[in-house]
Structures are given as structure tokens and as C-alpha cells.
Amino acid sequence: MVHVHESSISLATLTIGVTAHRHIDPAREPLVRQRVREFLLRLQHEFPDLPLQLVSALAAGGDQLVAEEALALGIPVLAPLPMTQTEYERDFDDPETLRRFRNLLARSEVRILPLTPGNNAEDIAAGGAPRDRQYAQLGVFVSSHCQILLALWDGEPSAAVGGTAEVVYFHLHESMPALGWSVPTPNQLAEETNDLVYHMPCVRASRAEARGEPPPTPRWLTADRSWPGTDPIPHEHRVLFTHMQAYNRDLRRHRARIDADAAGLFPANDEQRRDTRLMHRLDTLYRQSDWLAVHYQRRVRHGLIATHLLAVAMGLAYIAYDNVHADWRLLLIFLLCFGIGWIWYRVGKRRDWHRKYLDYRALAEGLRVQLYWHLAGVRASEEVLFAYDSFLQKQDIELGWIRHVMRGASLIHDRRRAPGLEWLHWSIADWVGSKESHRGQLSYYARKSAQCEARYRITRRVSALALLTGLGVAVLLIVLNQRLSPNVANYLLVLVGLLPLIAGVRNAYGHKQAEKELIKQYRFMSSIFARARKQLDVASDDAQRRGILKALGEACLQEHTEWILMHRERPLEQSQLT
């Protein structure tokens, strides 16, 4: 199996795609094989909690060489075929390479890619441009579904459609001239996190004159630079892989609680209906990501409450020391509260509670859209390019790991077992729902809007009450200054200082929770789902319904992007204690 499962959890994987020449110089093959093995071992050593998987078409030459080394190390292989196996085997001229292909295929998971637009089986069998387009599509698929492209390539440009040079170019620049494919215009200026190539130079068998030359060393390539392969993985990519590894560690650490408490998108009595592997994969990823998001949300919320309460306690201790009694124990309480808050802050920062809460929530919501789109048959014609590469792409580069996890999930899609039509109607009822049924996101956003409005009203009332009471006490002190005993006056002074402090702390807590901004966001999403519900009710056919769900999913992904950016600006900070 390509995807790693432990109990009921599904681990993120580091996917290595392969593009390679078919005819590698036999004299150099042992060196190439050694370098491939060392590269795979290096990745396993650097990311021990991030299982590797290989995506290779198992073509003659470099593809088979890399697959053999991967399987020898226990790395699972996914074999996307550009056409049916029978048709693909016609391109194997040597019986030995055909035998190796069949042997490797039997040990791999197979995915047959669809026909490119305008192609048919007869044209592919006839060869020429239609067949070349299938190979070009294969290169796009491998590039779009891996985090590192391993290129066994001589480094020379080539006009061969779908050849190694063209696949490397597509991975670096997201353009495949042979198919007329390129990155969508809105994302052209976004920083790329999926352009990493490990170029392992190799000599073609046709260039025997190059055998006397010293073998070039491997190099890392991205769209804008190149450096020695012995150097560490680029920092921006290492951060993404490290976050994926942290996700796996959290899954293993909390596996028992996830098994016991996590809830997926399918009701308990409907879980047996997850009749495709992608359904099961996406629902498993959602339920574990949702559980982790809720878990770290509690940690963050408890941290916010604790630090704000400690800030009030510190203020009370200092005001009492200054106005009531200069007792050293009050200063001790002040320092103790500060110390507890500082320790809590350091623990939360070291364990990355805030980032994990936001990232895991964004991942869960992205998976929600991915699952409902799959069930409803949305994007069924877009199986080659990864469909969610624009999600969070124009924001913080560190969020790219979320797309990597979603990219890995989409690898196992099996178009021969697409969900039935009944799943379209189930998705509408379960995803959109209605206000009356209390099912779906329509009622969820209406409910969350009301809750946020209630919290915001409490914040305003508490702040106003504290400020007005503080002002009233101050006025009372002025009016009755000569009539009050020193002790009473001192206690009233404490209230004058404490009540505005409480108001300020409550306002600060509301700001950290983004209460005001969330009201607008939830109202907006509630209106989006309400309009979608109305349009779905009058839609004339299923194609129109799928179009509405596609637009709805894109709006949801955009909303999740806005949500995570808003909350990333409000982390738990040590300065809150002061």
C-alpha cells in the first residue's frame, strides 16, 4: 500500500516522484544505483517520522532502477500508467525490461491515468502525437503529486514530448507546452513550495564517448537557483517536511484518544458506506486532523484564559501593594503569577500549540471540501493536476505542508469506483443542509454567528460595567474624601485601579479571540451557504448542482485562508502578562 496506516490513523508521507532516461549507460549504472540508494537512505535518516513513498511509471531504465532500490528499502511504490497496461507494454522492446516491469508492477499500487482531452484508444495505439500526449500527462501527474522530483537526467534540453527534460521543466516552472498546460494566472506570482528537484546526472547509453569523463555530482534545483546535492534540503522545504513529521508524531502520541473520541464526517451508522478507498482515506484524515485541531484549540484557549487571569491577579497584587499595604508577600504573588504565566507561554511556544491549532484546523477544513467534492463528483475531469494547489498558496509559505498532505490523499483516487449519484444528494444535505434541519454548514454558521455576537455583547457589557463602576468609585472618593477612613479609601483606590484593568483585559481577550472579526466572517459564510441552498433548490440538473458545489467549495477554501491569517496575527504572547 502506498499510504501508511497505523490502527485507525493515516500518516502523512513524503512522496518522491521519478523522471528518468530509458537508456542509462550500463557502465555508469552501478554508480547511479548507489547514489539513488544513498539519497533514499538520507531522506529516511533526516525525516524518521515521515514515511517515504515513490511515484514511478516503472518505465525501462531509470524508473525501474529507482523503484527496485525503493522496494528493497521497504518504500512503497505507486505506479501511474499513461495508458492501459497492455498498451503500455508495447513500448518495452526488451523482454528483460518487460519482465522487470511486470515484477515491479505486481509489487506496486497501480493507477491508470485517463485519456487526455481529444484522445482515444485507437489514436494512442497508432502512436505519434496522441501517444506522446499521454506521456506528457504522465509527467504532469508525477510532478503534481510529489514533494521532491528525483530526476535521473543528463541535464540536456530535449524536444521530446513528455521526456525527462520536459518533466523537469514543468516541475520547476509549472508549464508543459506539449499539452498547453500552465499554472493558473492567479497563482503565477505566488511563492512555490513544490518545485524541488534532486538532479542526479546520468549518461545516456547513446553517449558512450562521455564514459571517460568524471561523473557529475547531484544537485538540488528550484525554479530560481541550484546548489550541490550534498548541501542540506533548502530551509523553506525542510520546514514543510518538519511540520508534516510533527503531524505524524502528534497522531502517534494521541492515537488511542483519536480512536476513542474522534468523529468523522460520516455518521457512526453510515461508516460502512465509505465504499471507496479515497472516501475512507479522506474521512480518516479529516477525523484525526479535526481531533488534533480541537485538542490544540483547548490548549490555546486555556492558555489565553490563564494568562489574562494572571494579568488581573498581577495587577491586583501590585495595586494592593501600592495602595493598601506594602507587604512583600504581595510582591511575591506578583512575581509568582508572572512566573507561572511565563512558564505557560514558553511551554506553549516550544510545543507549537498555536501554530498546530491553526494548521490542523485549516487542514481539516480543506479535507472537508476535498471529501465533499469527491462524493459529489466535482472536478472528476481534473485527475492529473493536483486540484488544490491554490489553497493557502499566496499566504505564508509554511502553510504549504497542508497542501502536501492533501496532495498525498489524492494519489489513491480510483476513477473506476467513483461514488454513485446518491452521494451527490447526500453531500448537499450533509454539507449545505438547512437551518431547520440543524445539519450541515448552513445551520453551523448561523449558530456560530449567534454565539460570537453573544460573546461580543458580553465583552462590551463587562467592559462598560467595569469602566463605569470604576468611574463611579472615583467620583465617590472625590465627594466623600474627607468622610472615609484611610482603610476604606485605600480599598476604593484598589477598585479604581482594578476595574479598568479588568475591562482592558477582557477587551484584550476578545481581541485575541477575534470576536468582532469572526462575527463578520461567520455572517458572510452563512449568507454564502444560504445562497447556495437557494440555488441548489432551483437547479435543473446534476451538472448545475456540481457547479454550485464547486463554487461553494472555493468560497470555503478562501474563508479558511482568511480565518487562519487573522488568527496567526493573534498568538499567545508573553507581553500579555504586562
The domain spans of the chain are: 14-244, 271-377+418-569
> Residue 244's pLDDT is what?
96
Model confidence band, residue 233 (pLDDT cutoffs 50, 70, 90)? very high
Alpha-helical regions (H) of 56-163: 62-72, 85-88, 95-106, 121-126, 129-144
Residues 30-41 have pLDDT tens digits of 999 999 999 999
Does the structure show a pLDDT above 80 at 484?
no
Q: Which residues, at least 6 apart from 227, have a Cβ–Cβ distance to it below 8 Å? A: 219, 220
Provide the percentage of residues in the chain whose pLDDT is more than 70: 87
Q: Which residues, at least 6 apart from 42, have a Cβ–Cβ distance to it below 8 Å? A: none
Does the structure show a pLDDT above 50 at 185?
no
pLDDT higher at 184 or 2: 184
Model confidence band, residue 1 (pLDDT cutoffs 50, 70, 90)? very low
Residues 360-417 have pLDDT tens digits of 999 999 999 989 998 888 864 445 665 555 555 555 677 889 988 988 887 776 555 5
> Residue 186's pLDDT is what?
47
| 269's grid cell | 451508522
| 417's grid cell | 469506483
| Alpha carbons 121 and 90: distance in angstroms, whole number | 14
Average pLDDT in the chain: 84
Q: How far apart, in Å, do the first and last CA atoms of the chain sit? A: 53
Beta pairing, strands 197-201 & 148-153: parallel
Query: Quick one: average pLDDT of 123-138?
Result: 90
CATH of 14-244, one of 3.40.50.150, 3.90.79.10, 3.40.30.10, 3.40.50.450: 3.40.50.450
pLDDT higher at 515 or 116: 116
Nearest to 505 by CA among 572, 578, 430: 578
Confirm if 148 and 17 have CB atoms less than 8 A apart: yes
Predicted structure pTM score: 0.85
> Residue 189's pLDDT is what?
44
